[in-house]
């Protein structure tokens, strides 16, 4: 995704102290480069804007470079980087008076009874399809998905991104977000419902599907 700019970003973070990433063995650049595209994708979904995502990625790499000596296990680098990115965006949002985590989980959820599976089956926008739900998902370009994720409640969006998009377990997502596992499970349930409704409403609004007037 940002392969052409990867070396420049890594070099920029190391200008203050190149020894932090050119030491013998697995260097900072080696470890980070393997996860850079996914990390940038996470930043885009958190920020909803490529320019802001690049700034967040830069801040993440700078902070990661400074604390690289504390990374004991290179195999844990992906979760380590995502944790740093999450903390960076939290710091940015707090400075703006926003929060990533604050949401009343005991409040009534208008999305709870919505089912994307049932809605697609009822509306049947692809009457001759043998892969109805896959055909629905194929309607969405990358920028469409970014728009849907950007409209989600941040506290629900982050666990969905970590588990569904980036392949972390629920336990790993809880560690990255610094939240109890039970909280993450609740946020995942509500996040999936919000994502389902968001996908459907976006498709209808952008006329990606034709629905009945009833």
Domains in the chain, ordered, with CATH?
3-95 (1.10.1740.10), 116-205 (1.10.10.10)
Q: What is the pTM of this model?
A: 0.79
Residue 164 pLDDT class (50, 70, 90 cuts): very high
CA distance 79 to 168: 8
Residue 148: per-residue pLDDT: 93
DSSP state at residue 24: S
CA distance 176 to 83: 5
Asked if the model's pLDDT at residue 146 lies above 50, the reply is yes
- In Å, what is the CA distance from 153 to each residue of 49, 100, 114, 125, 202? 16, 9, 16, 28, 15
Residues 46-61 have pLDDT tens digits of 888 889 999 999 999 9
Residues 81-105 have pLDDT tens digits of 999 999 999 998 888 877 665 555 5
* In contact, 17 and 27? CB cutoff 8 Å: no
CA distance 174 to 180: 6
More confident residue, 77 or 72: 77
Residue 4: per-residue pLDDT: 47
């Amino acid at each position: 995704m940002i392969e052409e700019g990867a070396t420049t970003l890594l070099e920029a973070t190391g200008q203050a102290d190149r020894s932090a990433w050119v030491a013998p063995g697995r260097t900072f650049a080696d470890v980070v480069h393997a996860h850079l595209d996914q990390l940038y994708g996470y930043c885009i979904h958190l920020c909803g804007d490529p320019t802001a995502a690049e700034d967040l990625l830069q801040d993440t790499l700078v902070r990661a470079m400074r604390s690289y000596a504390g990374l004991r296990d290179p195999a844990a680098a992906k979760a380590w980087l995502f944790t740093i990115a999450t903390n960076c965006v939290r710091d940015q949002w707090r400075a703006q008076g926003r929060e990533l985590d604050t949401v009343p989980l005991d409040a009534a959820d208008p999305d709870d009874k919505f089912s994307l599976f049932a809605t697609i089956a009822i509306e049947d926008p692809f009457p001759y399809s043998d892969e109805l739900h896959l055909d629905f998902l194929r309607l969405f370009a990358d920028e469409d998905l970014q728009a849907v994720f950007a409209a989600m409640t941040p506290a629900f969006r982050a666990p969905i991104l970590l588990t569904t998009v980036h392949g972390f377990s629920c336990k790993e997502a809880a560690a990255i977000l610094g939240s109890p596992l039970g909280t993450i499970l609740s946020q995942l349930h509500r996040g999936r419902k919000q994502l389902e409704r968001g996908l459907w409403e976006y498709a209808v609004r952008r006329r990606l599907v034709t629905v009945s007037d009833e």
